[in-house]
Amino acid sequence: MPILDPKIPVAARSIDALQRHVGRVQAITGTRNNNALLVNPGDARRQVWVRPTYADYRDAWIRVFTYIADPANMDVDHIYNKARAQVVGYDYVRLFLVEKGVNRNHGRVERLLVRVSLAPGRLTRDPDIAYATNWNIAKISGNRVGRENVRYDQAAALDWLVSENFM
């Protein structure tokens, strides 16, 4: 049976919020000013978090996951839209490796969502940590949305995330 509320962290207000809600935080070697962080949630999984404005996020990913090295058919992706994170007030967003076609499919709608967002600083009641929505789970698990996939199955996506050790 799939987990109905998986609590996959995807955005954080601060380093303190990451430490309190996700795990031990350290700067990634070769980066400056806490632009890129390695977060260890206490198990075998390592997480890469970056400031939404940090341009070298692919390099930060590769510094941690050298064995993956950004394959040609994959994107290193801010799973929580980086433009929206800036509007909402999150200082860090989590990176995932996502299939390019799936990332592009989701990106079209994400750009529209940012355009209708409130002005910066207006969403002060958002939590310290944002968790993956159904939309994020579809993206992480390689599922297109909208007309390209009208039969998205969240339960199957969550089962896949468990089998691939994301949760």
Tell me the per-residue pLDDT of 19-60, one tens digit each, with 9 for 90 and over: 999 999 999 999 999 999 999 998 878 999 999 999 999 999
Alpha-carbon dihedral sign for residues 82, 142, 133, 65: negative
- Token digits for 48? 């890469």
Partners of 77 in the beta sheet? 96
pTM: 0.80
Task: Kindly give the parts of the chain with pLDDT less than 70.
Answer: 1-5, 67-70, 108-126, 146-167
- The pLDDT, as a whole number, for residue 122 is 44
- The pLDDT, as a whole number, for residue 44 is 75
- The pLDDT, as a whole number, for residue 51 is 98
- The pLDDT, as a whole number, for residue 147 is 61
- The pLDDT, as a whole number, for residue 136 is 81
H helical segments located in the chain: 15-21, 57-64, 82-88, 100-115, 134-140, 154-163
Q: Give the helix/strand (H/E) hosting 10.
A: strand 9-12
Please give the Cα distance from 52 to 57 (Å, whole number): 9
DSSP code for 1: -
